[in-house]
Amino acid sequence: MDNQLEKPQQITFDITDRCQMKCVTCNKWKISAGDVINKELTTEEWKKVLVQLRDWLGEGFWFCFSGGEPFLRKDIFELADYADSLGIKVASMSNAFSIQNLYEKIVDSPIQSLNISLNAISNPLIHDTSRGREGSYEKALDSILTLKKLRDEKKSKLGINIATILFPENIEESIPLVEFVTRNKINGIMFQLLDDAESFQAYSVRSSSQTSTYVMPKELRLKYKSMAKRAIEVINRLIEMKQAGHSIYNSFEQLEAMKIFFNNPDDILRTINCDVGSTNYAIDPYGDVRLCFNMDPVGNIKENTPEEIWLNQKSAECRQLTKSCKMYCRMLNCNFKHNFANFNKSFLQRCKNKIGKILCGIK
């Protein structure tokens, strides 16, 4: 067993694969809800997991409901209340398409951080097209503004954040999105690098990826190339805005890494190790646990406790596999370790060479 191994820091409950959107970046919605709904963990099974996690990790840790669309689970508030009663802090993601009749409930619930996905602010069509459903922009915007108003009126603890994927069609939206966040006193915004849609499969149909021989699809590589020049300019501006106090959650290190990535995606594979094996713990709707969402499950929560799974042989093997991984999802917010310890020496050396100096702004 690895003596250096600590407890996980990034815990996700992907409570359902089901989703009502048709995002072009994600394949989760392609499954049939009827095929999976009866296979999902029950409320009682999730509650048992919460108790086991609290016994292992102690009070005060955070976990995030995600999916699929987590608010399609009717028991999400019951689970949030239960987690709160155990001293566990609750966050959630949402596409905000079907939460309009839940605003009061959300604000009154113990959810302390709600990340609403929004890919554009000045051009609704960009958001709606990316999400595959007309009217999704209007609903996401209404959710952000109404929840903010209610939160302020009720002095609730709810933090409201925006999650934005960066892709060629919305790159000009990034700065206006940050300005919108600041103008409307939204808690913050996080930018997500576009990843291969193949990585965003429903768990019910997911097969593990060949992470050590992965090759980025040509189409995705061309997409990155087409936006690279402008993306680097925009990220430079985001760095300035963050320095000036705008609430951009991505660390400076991650923003710098994004520039390296856009300059040449392959550089990231040489310079950034992926730490998910020792930080992440994601439980899927059927109880399977993954440290890396592209690899095989390392156990099932119905058969073993969270701690037993974390310390088992499969988890050790998964950690080993992360070392030879050739995938780019190490750049995603949930996988990127937010400090310089993540950058190995060659990254720092690159910063001293010509390209690194330009990208990192080193004189």
Ligand X SMILES: C[S@@+](CC[C@H](N)C(=O)[O-])C[C@H]1O[C@@H](n2cnc3c(N)ncnc32)[C@H](O)[C@@H]1O
Interacting residues toward ligand X by CB under 6 A = 19, 23, 25-26, 66-69, 93-95, 117, 163, 165, 192, 194-195, 197, 200
329 makes contact, choosing from ligand SF4, ligand X, none, with CB < 5 to 8 Å by partner type, with ligand SF4
272 makes contact, choosing from ligand SF4, ligand X, none, with CB < 5 to 8 Å by partner type, with none
**Given the complex with ligand X, which of 95 and 294 has the nearer CB atom?**
95
195 makes contact, choosing from ligand X, ligand SF4, none, with CB < 5 to 8 Å by partner type, with ligand X
Shortest Cβ 60–ligand SF4 spacing (Å): 26
Shortest Cβ 19–ligand X spacing (Å): 6
254 makes contact, choosing from ligand X, ligand SF4, none, with CB < 5 to 8 Å by partner type, with none
**Given the complex with ligand X, which of 40 and 57 has the nearer CB atom?**
40
Instruction: Give the interface segment with ligand SF4, choosing from 16-24, 54-62, 144-152, 231-239 (CB under 6 A).
Output: 16-24
276 makes contact, choosing from ligand X, ligand SF4, none, with CB < 5 to 8 Å by partner type, with ligand SF4
Nearest-5° Cα angle at 356, 351 to 357:
90
Q: Using the rule CB under 6 A, which residue among 259, 330, 337, 350 binds ligand SF4?
A: 330
For residues 307 and 312, give the distance between their C-alpha atoms in angstroms, rounded to a whole number. Answer: 9
Shortest Cβ 79–ligand SF4 spacing (Å): 18
211 makes contact, choosing from ligand X, ligand SF4, none, with CB < 5 to 8 Å by partner type, with ligand SF4
Q: Using the rule CB under 6 A, which residue among 10, 11, 13, 19 binds ligand SF4?
A: 19
Backbone angles phi, psi at 192, to 5 degrees: -120, 135
How many Å separate Cα 178 from the centre of its chain? 18
CB atoms inside a 10 Å sphere around CB 270: 12
335 makes contact, choosing from ligand SF4, ligand X, none, with CB < 5 to 8 Å by partner type, with ligand SF4
Under a CB-based contact definition with an 8 Å cutoff, are residues 271 and 344 in contact? yes
**Given the complex with ligand X, which of 93 and 238 has the nearer CB atom?**
93
**Given the complex with ligand X, which of 294 and 315 has the nearer CB atom?**
294
**Given the complex with ligand SF4, which of 95 and 254 has the nearer CB atom?**
95
**Given the complex with ligand SF4, which of 95 and 129 has the nearer CB atom?**
95
Q: Using the rule CB under 6 A, which residue among 194, 235, 325, 359 binds ligand SF4?
A: 325
Residue type, position 39, single letter: K
Cα 352 to Cα 90, 135, 341, 343: the distances in Å are 41, 48, 17, 14
Of residues 270 through 299, those in contact with ligand SF4 by CB under 6 A are: 274, 276, 292, 294
Instruction: Select from 151, 141, 146 the least CA-distant residue to 180.
Output: 141
**Given the complex with ligand X, which of 163 and 248 has the nearer CB atom?**
163
Shortest Cβ 78–ligand X spacing (Å): 19
CB burial readout 230-262, b (16+ within 10 A) else e? ebbebbeebbebbeeebbbbbbebbbbbbbbbb
Under a CB-based contact definition with an 8 Å cutoff, are residues 119 and 131 in contact? yes
| Contacts to ligand SF4 by CB under 6 A | 19, 21, 23, 26, 28-29, 67-69, 95, 200, 211, 274, 276, 292, 294, 322, 325, 327, 329-330, 335
